[in-house]
Amino acid sequence: MDSEMTASIAFFASARSGLGHLQRIGNIGAALRACGYDGHLSLLCNAEADAVDLMTFDRVIVTPREQMSKVAGESGTTLAVSDMMIVPGIKHVGKHRVLILRETPAERLHRFFGGESCWNHVLVPNPSDHWRPPVDLMPPERVHPVGWIARRNCPRQRNDERIGVLLATGGGGTAETRASLYPMLSQILRLARGRTRFLVHQAVGPRARGEVLDEADALLDPGSRLDLLFRRADVVISTAGYNSVLELAGTDTPTLLVAIPRSYDDQQARVRQWGPRLGHGVEPGEEQAAANWLAEHVARPKRRSPVDLGPDGSVAAAKILCRLA
């Protein structure tokens, strides 16, 4: 770090495509402060981020993506960190530029390594034996698989109030994804209720846009702490987003995972990988098997073993960013 220049790290992320990017950045920001980083921390995003705890940041700036590089450059940024966001002009911001790149389908990777590619380093938020970008896109010595980055959850606690079946879909994504997701969930719930009776609590946060499943009996607003509801539930039905899966992993709650199509995320692959570890993964056209699993776990509740996620990836990421800032 240049002794004559105050370190200033600027993170860039979308607040429109779900809260996962912001949660991950919030975890890294907290780890930066915990490891002794005393420089400036800012977050630039394209929509309000009030559903995520970002208290460790000095400034949260809401600005169009096209203006982010200009704003960051004028504020003296020394290190630019993008969480899977293509930011025009970012190659002119700071001394170093870091891309946080979650596992991405091969046909989508060119978006991050095309004309605006300027990354000095890539942080991959998963263990080294899980996934990394091909060597022809980025030299291996500049790719850092840091481990899973997510809030660490725990099994149900003695004083936790039980909430039965919890449905957590994040609002079902876009109108198009809801159009395919909600009918499938309705069918699974109707089939399961044909075998046993149960109530469904749907977690409805700021992303739900009022879209509630007809089969839901009650609504819960978890704010930024959906992770606490995960461990209280007898069974969780959840889409297979990166953060949701990892926050569920640390619980002992049986989970039914379903996929929704995402631009940079293969949720069906994640369902196949994590479904057997967390409970059951729904395959296309196999709603009856999912309903049978759900009915069985409602009728005969049984907790599962938590999944060990290994060392906290936000700590490793923070140490790398401290060196670069």
Please provide residue 19's backbone torsions phi and psi, each rounded to the nearest 5 degrees. -95, 0
In whole angstroms, give the CA distance from residue 247 to residue 24: 12
The string of pLDDT tens digits covering residues 62-120 is 999 999 999 999 999 999 999 999 999 999 999 999 999 999 999 889 889 876 568 99
Q: Is 55 helix (H, G, I), strand (E, B) or coil?
A: coil
Higher pLDDT, residue 17 or 137:
137
In whole angstroms, give the CA distance from residue 219 to residue 106: 38
Higher pLDDT, residue 209 or 313:
313
| Delimiting residues of CATH 3.40.50.2000 domain(s) in the chain | 8-149+311-324, 165-299
Q: Are 24 and 83 in contact (CB under 8 A)?
A: yes
Tokens of 233: 């539930």
- CATH fold of 8-149+311-324: Rossmann fold (3.40.50)
The pLDDT score that the predictor gives to residue 261 is 78
Please provide residue 307's backbone torsions phi and psi, each rounded to the nearest 5 degrees. -95, 130
The string of pLDDT tens digits covering residues 223-238 is 888 999 999 999 999 9
Q: What distances in angstroms separate CA 200 from CA 177, 194, 248, 298, one per listed residue?
A: 21, 14, 18, 11
**Mean per-residue pLDDT of the chain:** 91
Higher pLDDT, residue 180 or 200:
200
The pLDDT score that the predictor gives to residue 6 is 83
The pLDDT score that the predictor gives to residue 76 is 93
User: What's the whole-model pTM score?
Assistant: 0.92
Given 3.40.50.2000, 3.30.930.10, 3.30.413.10, 3.20.20.70, which CATH number is that of 165-299? 3.40.50.2000
The pLDDT score that the predictor gives to residue 208 is 56
The pLDDT score that the predictor gives to residue 179 is 84
